[in-house]
Structure 1
Amino acid sequence: MLERMNEAMEHIEAHLGEHIEAAELARIAMTSEYHLRRMFSALAGVPLAEYIRRRRMTLAGAEVLGAPDRTLLEVAVRYGYDTGEGFARAFRAVHGIGPGEARRTRAALRSQQRLTFRLVVEGSTDMRYKLVDKEEFRVVGKRARVPLIHEGPNPAIAEFIRGIGKETLEHIAALSDQDPAGLVGVSDQLDPSRAEGTELDYYHGVVTSAEPPEDLDALTVPAGTWAVFENEGEFPQALQYLWRDVFTQWFPSNPYASRPGPEILRVRVSGDGKRAEAELWIPVERSEQPTG
């Protein structure tokens, strides 16, 4: 898998002056576009589209400063921009300064280094997982649109849950009739970039086959295979590290890819609120090719 990801990175480098389709990168990596975007953001810590933009502007910046014989419009066209205005906006977004001013003042610019993925063998992570085939089910509970937070507590989710009310939570919990049992947090409709601050649908509810009451929100989830991961540790860091480890360690080492669908997290927090046991459900499918 990592070898194929590196082939996709080579394709990016060879076509920075052109429009780069994520679908073509997914074909090179022999996976789905959906899985490619998720794998890339987990491994690289930056969305795929943002990485491509930073690489373009890194090379463009070198020409803005080091090739004074080329006009700024020529540099813009060289890196796929039809107008100087669009190029200037992208340049400023990466470097914090416009290309004209950068050339005039010889300003310091930012450089996005080329990414190469390598397997780091640590031997310290023992991931517990199982594969579960589930028929169609529903998530029933309360829904809110919240921002994605990668590190630390998510204040929007915490505030949302506090506002639900004890009686409503008990009403929701009583509808649970299958695994994962009890109240769960469900993330759906995530932005493909998975960039921090982008929004998602968050459900605080249960997994059930029951018809949803009119006063509750519902999400129908098609039948499919799920990879179920377990861990325990400091709350909430261990939960966020679990998601990271799934995409940076488990997927590259196993013949599965993520597929579109919600992520389900079942958490049991200790009495002092410092530790938690977690169960993370990720929708998966067999990869077309074995990992390597």
Structure 2
Amino acid sequence: MLERLNQSMEHIERQLDQPIDVAELARIAATSEYHLRRMFSALAGMPLSEYIRRRRLTVAGAEVLVRDESLLEIAVRYGYGSGEAFARAFRAMHGVGPGEARRSGAALVSQPRLTFRLTVEGSSSMLYRVVDKPAFSVVGFKARVPLVHSGPNQAIIDFVRGIGSQAMEGLEKLSDQEPQGVVAVCDDLDPSRAEGTELDYYQAVITSGAAPEGAAVLPVPAGSWAVFTTSGPAPQAIQNLWRDVFTQWFPSNPYRSRPGPEILRTRMSPDQTEADAELWLPVEREQG
């Protein structure tokens, strides 16, 4: 998997001055476009679209400094429809406009080329199982919130606090299958998974029963799920689980992520310092 992912990175380098088709990158990586975006974001710490943008502006920045071409010619080569659009993007990355950079020979920011390698530490085992589930429903309370890659998501914190303990107790009684109890569910994420893009967040239960009036309902079709478990200090244990799933498990196993909600069941210790967590991710077997 990582070898093919690196081949797709080489393709990006050859196409920086041409349109880049993410579907073609996925074909080179021998996976789905959805899984490629998910895998790249988890491994690189940024969306694929952001990496491509930063690589283009890195190469364009070098050409601004050393070539005699007009700034507009360079802008068009790297996909910008006008000098103004190029200048805005250039300044956002480099902290200086292209004209000023050319006149002063300013130091520019560089986005290095990425190459992925699998590091096997062998210090711990990852506990997981693959479950085939029939269709079910996510039933509960729903909010549209921004995506936050690190640190607390205040929008989610405020949303959950506003639900109320009585409503949560009534919701928990509807749970009739795994994962049991009240869970956090994320769905309808932007394909780029860029910081600040929005997603549907549910404080909900998994059920096959009827939803009460006024509840938010997300129907989920039958499919396979990879279920990962961890225990340890909160929130570090959960954050490390997410990291390890995408940096270790997916590259080492014949599965890829597929579209669908991501479900996290968390149970905190009485003093709120330790957590037992169960992460459910929709998966499918790689072809071939």
TM range (shorter): over 0.9
Q: Is the 8 A contact 1:138 1:219 kept in 2?
A: yes
Distance 2:78 2:277 in 1: 46
Q: Write out the 4+ residue segments of structure 1 that deviate beyond 3 Å after TM superposition.
A: none
Q: What are structure 1's unaligned runs of at least 5 residues? A: none
Tell me the amino acid that sits aligned with residue 148 of structure 1.
L
Q: Is the 8 A contact 1:150 1:240 kept in 2?
A: no
Give the match's secondary structure for 1:81. coil
Tell me the amino acid that sits aligned with residue 208 of structure 1.
T
Q: What are structure 2's unaligned runs of at least 5 residues? A: none
Give the match's secondary structure for 1:288. coil
Correspondence list, 1:83-162, <5 A: 83-162=82-161
Q: Is the 8 A contact 1:142 1:203 kept in 2?
A: yes
What's 2:23 paired with? Answer: 23
What's 1:65 paired with? Answer: 65
- Shift of the alpha carbon at 1:154? 2.1
Distance 2:11 2:31 in 1: 15
Correspondence list, 1:1-292, <5 A: 1-67=1-67, 69-289=68-288
Distance 1:176 1:118 in 2: 41
Give me the TM-score of the superposition, normalised by structure 2.
Answer: 0.97
- Shift of the alpha carbon at 1:134? 0.5
Moved more, 140-149 or 173-182: 140-149
Q: Is the 8 A contact 2:75 2:86 kept in 1?
A: yes
- Shift of the alpha carbon at 1:234? 1.2
Deviations 1:12-46 (A, max 9, x none): 00010011011110010000000000100111111
% identical equivalent positions: 68
Tell me the amino acid that sits aligned with residue 204 of structure 1.
Q
Tell me the amino acid that sits aligned with residue 251 of structure 2.
P
Give me the TM-score of the superposition, normalised by structure 1.
Answer: 0.96
Distance 1:203 1:81 in 2: 38
Distance change in 2, residues 1:253/1:96 (3 Å): same
Give the match's secondary structure for 2:99. helix
Moved more, 263-272 or 209-218: 209-218
Give the match's secondary structure for 2:225. strand
Q: Is the 8 A contact 1:235 1:273 kept in 2?
A: yes
Give the match's secondary structure for 1:107. coil
Deviations 1:52-73 (A, max 9, x none): 1111111110111112x21112
Q: Is the 8 A contact 1:142 1:216 kept in 2?
A: yes
Distance change in 2, residues 1:154/1:82 (3 Å): closer
Distance 1:150 1:84 in 2: 32
